[in-house]
Amino acid sequence: MKIIHLFLLITTLISIESKRTKTKVLILGAGASGISAAKSLSNANMQDYIIIDAQSFIGGRVQHEAFGNSKVELGANWIYGKGNNPIHRMATQHGLKTTPNDKNNVAFFDDFGLMKNQEKGINTSNEFESIKVKLVDYADSRMKRQQVDLSSRSALSLLGWKPNTPLKAAIEYFNIDWEFSEPAEMCSLDYATGTVDSITGTYPFGNEFVVDERGFNHILKEELRTFLHLDDDRLMLNTLVTEVIYNDQNVTVITSNGHVIEAEYAICTFSLGVLQSDLVKFNPIFPEWKRESLLSFHMTTYTKIFLQFKKKFWGNWQFALYANNVTQHGGYYTVWQNLNAPGYLFKPAATGDNILMVTTTDTESQRIERMTNSQVGNEIMRVLQKMFPLIYVEPPIDILIPRWHQHPLFRGSYSNWPIGALKKHHLNMRAPLENRLWFAGEAMSAEYYGFLHGAWLEGKSVANSVLDCITTKCPFYEKYEFITGCDSNFNSPPRFFGQFSP
């Protein structure tokens, strides 16, 4: 028996040893960026590529799971802006079901239930909206004078905003933490909260919430199908990359099952969290200027906790804010979303899907990820009982908590531009190595980092650079061996983060 096992092991090892593949362009990751890169290559008639991903499906951080009788999006859920937003275009083209998202449709709660004075909540929200406009002007004038970047907290204080009541803290959380997934102390004024599009929207006309049973990644699957069959050998799913060896001639990738893939060029779309970790070995180790920039940016954690209840005991609001003293010190189950709001749930409430979603961010998310679902559920129940003091709130039938920070293929949810990171850091983060190993993905987009459309546009842009390398000459990429001083680039294009109704 033992001899048979040994024989099987040897034959497996031999077959693994002999598994070598060559390709022109290797795309690491089948998320939005990887698919977009492949599409651009394909459009240019460059068919010699391979896409590789450890997951069993495409879409990366755009993924869903069954919950109750419905499907809920664990990652990306909103299409931020319409106009020329490529994600909006795809959603329209592939008939994705979405519903308008209205951040003004919000109910205010505190430790004594629904606040009697809802008007106060609306007025304080309006006050914060006008502070956001001022933040943009302030950042603009500071950048023109070449002043150093500030934390958004310092800027808010200088402009006279202080979150010194639970309500103000909750409203700030909804506008800063819930968007950037980090508190104002962390966010750059110049590149995060103080950008003009946080007010107007780079892609205008409002945001949509995806409520399609096929999942948000349906549009990425459909895009892929326009140029590649899901069973094409060039799409290698369930394949974990463990090592990437690069030099000025080629890039060689080794997978966990011993497959060796040699490529003339590689486009790495792994998340910033993965690049900051040691989960994939890059050989040689990245130069210090690259590591400095990768480590200067932040990979945040944004956690959507789903709760299914036997009965719906809440109103028809889209959002609810829970303002209490703990909220004031970092956000404690502050932002609630009603998946039964009119037009929201994928299946009618009659199917028994009474679902609330509460979001946590940053260190709260990391704390929650270390707890069991039932421990988190108990904390949430205490909050809900305070929000609804007149009824007995029965525990949820089910609870779903994605753990993005712990996930070895992501190590977080999306990137944020922190105070202290300069434009030059971002250029270094994005710069290719040896003109062979290229970097794309959400974090590499200076304009739209954090967003799905940022990932898509970066994949396209980097694939075009690689096509230039193949056909003529690699384009020039700025990079800085030593970064000194502060940025003087005040003409950088705006980016969008707010969720405003048309």
Ligand X SMILES: Cc1cc2nc3c(=O)[nH]c(=O)nc-3n(C[C@H](O)[C@H](O)[C@H](O)COP(=O)(O)OP(=O)(O)OC[C@H]3O[C@@H](n4cnc5c(N)ncnc54)[C@H](O)[C@@H]3O)c2cc1C
Binding site for ligand X (CB under 6 A): 29-34, 52-55, 60-62, 75-78, 80, 240-241, 269-271, 274, 280, 302, 304, 404, 409-410, 413-414, 441-442, 450-452, 455
Q: Are 458 and 116 in contact (CB under 8 A)?
A: no
Nearer to ligand X (CB atom), residue 217 or residue 340: 217
The minimum distance between CB 354 and ligand X, in angstroms, equals 22
Nearer to ligand X (CB atom), residue 30 or residue 483: 30
Q: Are 61 and 414 in contact (CB under 8 A)?
A: yes
Residue with tokens 């204080």: 157
The minimum distance between CB 3 and ligand X, in angstroms, equals 35
Residues facing 244 on adjacent strands: 253, 282
The minimum distance between CB 482 and ligand X, in angstroms, equals 28
Helix or strand (DSSP H, E) at 223: helix 218-225
Residues facing 358 on adjacent strands: 305, 336
Full DSSP string of 65-104: EEETTEEEESS--EE---TT-HHHHHHHHTT--EEE--TT
3-class SS at 114? strand
Measure the CA–CA gap between 486 and 491, rounded to whole angstroms: 14
Q: Are 215 and 76 in contact (CB under 8 A)?
A: no
Nearer to ligand X (CB atom), residue 166 or residue 441: 441
Nearer to ligand X (CB atom), residue 167 or residue 433: 433
The minimum distance between CB 216 and ligand X, in angstroms, equals 9
Residue 345, φ and ψ in degrees, nearest 5: -65, 145
Nearer to ligand X (CB atom), residue 102 or residue 487: 102
The minimum distance between CB 8 and ligand X, in angstroms, equals 26
Nearer to ligand X (CB atom), residue 167 or residue 192: 192
Residue 444 CA, distance from chain mean position: 12
Nearer to ligand X (CB atom), residue 30 or residue 419: 30
The minimum distance between CB 473 and ligand X, in angstroms, equals 27
The minimum distance between CB 90 and ligand X, in angstroms, equals 12
Whole-angstrom CA distances from 454 to 321, 457, 494 are: 29, 5, 13
The minimum distance between CB 407 and ligand X, in angstroms, equals 9
Residue with tokens 């060689």: 252
How many CB atoms lie under 10 A from the CB of residue 364? 19
Nearer to ligand X (CB atom), residue 280 or residue 393: 280
